[in-house]
Amino acid sequence: MLRKLYDGVFNLARGRHATPALAMVAFAESSFFPIPPDVMLAPMILARPEKAYFYAGVCTLASVLGGILGYAIGYFLTDFGLAILRVLGHSDGLDHFRQWFAQWGLWVILIKGLTPIPYKLVTIASGLAAFSFPVFMGASVVTRGGRFFLEAWILKRWGAAMLAQVEKRLALWSGIGLVVLIALIVMLKLL
């Protein structure tokens, strides 16, 4: 089953609709969708390393545009934005988000935008806090571009060797990935 899923992702990554699908996932993930674009970006780069930076650019642009929607949800649809954040495990309320951005502001966007923490938390919380939109946009371009272009560079440079190892030991690497994912979720819940 794991091999079929793996092969299916690579077939999608090589398909003619891969780039629009990547853009849609990156856009949606920045405002409401739970799956990060990296699950498509990485296999697409591994399938076509010569297009690594193009894919990173598409991912960055779509993610920043989706971030505008996330910001708008927080800013204009406060109750809906708070509901999304509650579903994601952040039920601290409007005052908490405003205090968070008043104290840390730009650093919230820069640090969280680079991490695997769902970016929609940052975009919606930025809107809820009525954080400076131009600063939000600039930080989003820097942090999302930094993340996706770094990922593209790493995969373009060492992707073939990494891919060979993953394909040899697919079950082992999947298990390790699952353990790391669960550990990250537990750590985030404890924080």
Residues 17, 7: Cα–Cα separation, whole Å: 16
Mean pLDDT of 41-60: 93
C-beta separation of 18 from 44 below 8 A: yes
Range of the domain at 73: 2-190
pLDDT-derived band at 12 (thresholds 50, 70, 90) equals confident
pLDDT-derived band at 73 (thresholds 50, 70, 90) equals very high
* Total count of domains within the chain: 1
Model pLDDT, residue 169? 66
Q: Mind listing the pLDDT tens digit for each residue in 88-118?
A: 777 676 677 777 777 877 887 887 776 667 7
Q: CA-CA distances (angstroms) from residue 7 to 3, 14, 92, 131?
A: 6, 11, 41, 43
Evaluate if residue 123 carries a pLDDT over 70: yes
Model pLDDT, residue 149? 95
Instruction: Report the predicted TM-score, pTM, of the whole model to 2 decimal places.
Output: 0.76
- The two tokens of residue 163 are 């891919």
Model pLDDT, residue 148? 93
C-beta separation of 98 from 59 below 8 A: no
C-beta separation of 163 from 46 below 8 A: yes
**For all residues of the chain together, what is the average pLDDT?**
82
pLDDT-derived band at 77 (thresholds 50, 70, 90) equals very high
